[in-house]
């Protein structure tokens, strides 16, 4: 692969007898924004720390731009890093914080001053050189940390949950800013997060991790629309599960809460009378019929949550409860708990998941 930039091969890390990264391999192209996504303890930070050089792999290798960096010291890797906590030098002003790496590298004062000013413009804080970290908000400090990381023009940017200490609104605006700056610079970036919405919104590709292994690697829409495993389907986005009973294998019919419907496919080993779980995203369900929906089911609205632009409904189909969102159409009366409702879906939109 010609443009392959970051390559991780069979990377493994054990702490004593505890193996927390289990032979992970992936390759990315120059300029990609990559997220390592997974629950706490799945090994994503350990992978990032091995790429940064803060942790030695037990086995495996890491290559950047064709150079094996597995055993280089952190400062030999030419990588920029931003951590969860702001980690600015509290006794240095913003200009000196951003210029720190440049000074160590021996950049002349004038050039350094110009680079710092450019960086401050880039992060939307022009003229902030003389401020001290304690005089700035968390979001501003994290932008300065980003500027400090990219000022030496690193080959790659590593971000370890850089938004998790910020409140929700700032988190969203700063992630958009980070993405815009990353695209502007074309810098290959690895971003660690446990927040699926963050990963979906910011990434070119996502590595979904679970217990030290990769569950799936793909673009956000691939991960969400075609989750490879049940873990991915439940960790990324919401999932409805409907318990059904196979009633006719040849005709692919199943019964849900006494209502018989035909499916697009049945599992290979399906047997008449056996139970199967159908899984689907909330948004493939529509209230009422729809021309291209081949399955209709009737149920009862068991819960209504008003969320502003959308209204989230829970609908009981016997013992199965599914959730779906409807747009808040302000011209019609909102749905009411306890009302009967017909919902429909296209059987091709049911997810087929590996265990």
| Total chain residues near ligand ATP (CB under 6 A) | 11
- Does 194 interact with ligand ATP (rule: CB under 6 A)? yes
Identity of the residue, 37 or 311, whose beta carbon is nearer to ligand ATP in the bound complex: 37
DSSP state of 58: S
Q: Please report how close the Cβ of residue 84 comes to ligand ATP at its closest, in angstroms.
A: 9
Is 15 a residue that touches ligand ATP (CB under 6 A)? Answer: yes
Provide CB contacts within 8 A for 269, sequence distance 6+: none
281 binding ligand ATP? (CB under 6 A)? no
CA dist list (Å): 18 to 12, 14, 43, 57, 211: 11, 5, 11, 13, 11
CA angle 103-109-114, nearest 5°? 100
Minimum distance, C-beta of residue 40 to ligand ATP, in the bound complex (Å): 3
171 lies in the binding site for ligand ATP (CB under 6 A)? no
Residue nearest to ligand ATP (CB): 45
Rounded CA separation 333/326 (Å): 12
Judged by CB under 6 A, the residue of 6, 8, 20, 214 near ligand ATP is 20
Q: Is 77 in the site for ligand ATP (CB under 6 A)?
A: no
For ligand ATP, the closer of residues 82 and 317 by Cβ is: 82
Comparing CB distances to ligand ATP, the nearer of 52 and 122 is: 52
Specify the residue, 46 or 70, whose C-beta has the smaller distance to ligand ATP: 46
**Within its chain, how far is the Cα of 20 from the centroid?**
20
Q: What's the CA gap between 218 and 29, in Å, rounded? A: 13
Question: For residues 42 and 125, which CB has a smaller minimum distance to ligand ATP in the complex?
Answer: 42
Query: What DSSP assignment string belongs to 166-205?
Result: S-HHHHHHHHHHHHHHHHHHT-EEEEEES-HHHHHHH-SE
Give the strand pairing for 188-193 and 33-37.
parallel
Alpha carbon of residue 286 to chain centroid: 26
Give the residue from 183, 128, 127 showing the smallest Cα distance to 150: 183
What is the rounded CA–CA span in Å between residue 73 and residue 63?
14
Question: CB 240 → ligand ATP: shortest distance, Å?
Answer: 27
Given the complex with ligand ATP, which of 45 and 140 has the nearer CB atom?
Answer: 45
Show the tokens assigned to 189.
Answer: 């970036």
| Contact yes or no for 323/313 (Cβ under 8 A) | yes
Helical pair 109-122 and 94-104, crossing angle rounded to 10 deg: 130
CB of 49: closest distance to ligand ATP in angstroms? 7
Residues in 23-52 that interact with ligand ATP by CB under 6 A:
38, 40-46
> Which residues contact ligand ATP by CB under 6 A?
15, 20, 38, 40-46, 194
């Amino acid at each position: 692969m010609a443009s392959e930039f970051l390559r991780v091969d069979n990377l493994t890390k054990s702490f004593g007898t505890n193996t927390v990264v289990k032979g992970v391999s992936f390759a990315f192209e120059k300029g990609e924004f990559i997220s390592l996504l997974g629950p706490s303890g799945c090994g994503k930070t350990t992978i990032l720390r091995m790429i940064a050089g803060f942790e030695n792999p037990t086995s495996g290798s890491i290559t950047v731009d064709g150079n094996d960096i597995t055993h280089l010291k952190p400062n030999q890797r030419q990588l920029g890093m931003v951590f969860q906590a702001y980690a600015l030098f509290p006794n240095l002003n913003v200009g000196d914080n951003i210029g720190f790496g440049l000074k160590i590298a021996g950049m002349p004062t004038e050039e350094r001053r110009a680079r710092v000013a450019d960086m401050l413009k880039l992060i939307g804080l022009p003229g902030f050189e003389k401020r001290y970290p304690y005089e700035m908000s968390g979001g501003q400090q994290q932008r300065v940390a980003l500027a400090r990381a990219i000022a030496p023009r690193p080959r790659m940017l590593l971000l370890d949950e850089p938004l998790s200490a910020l409140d929700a609104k700032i988190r969203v605006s700063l992630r958009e800013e980070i993405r815009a700056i990353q695209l502007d610079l074309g810098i290959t970036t690895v971003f660690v997060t446990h927040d699926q919405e963050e990963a979906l919104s910011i990434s070119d590709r996502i590595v979904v991790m679970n217990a030290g292994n990769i569950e799936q690697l793909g673009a956000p829409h691939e991960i969400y629309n075609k989750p490879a495993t049940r873990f991915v389907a439940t960790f990324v986005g919401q999932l409805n599960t409907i318990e059904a009973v196979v009633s006719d294998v040849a005709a692919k019919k199943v019964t849900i809460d006494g209502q018989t419907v035909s499916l697009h496919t049945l599992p290979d080993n399906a047997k008449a009378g056996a139970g199967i779980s159908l899984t689907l995203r909330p948004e493939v369900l529509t209230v009422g019929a729809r021309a291209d929906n081949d399955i209709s089911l009737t149920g009862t609205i068991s819960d209504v949550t008003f969320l502003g632009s959308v209204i989230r409904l829970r609908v009981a189909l016997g013992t199965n409860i599914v959730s779906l969102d409807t747009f808040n159409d302000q011209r019609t009366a909102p749905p009411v708990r306890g009302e009967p409702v017909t919902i429909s879906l296209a059987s091709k939109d049911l997810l087929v998941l590996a265990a």
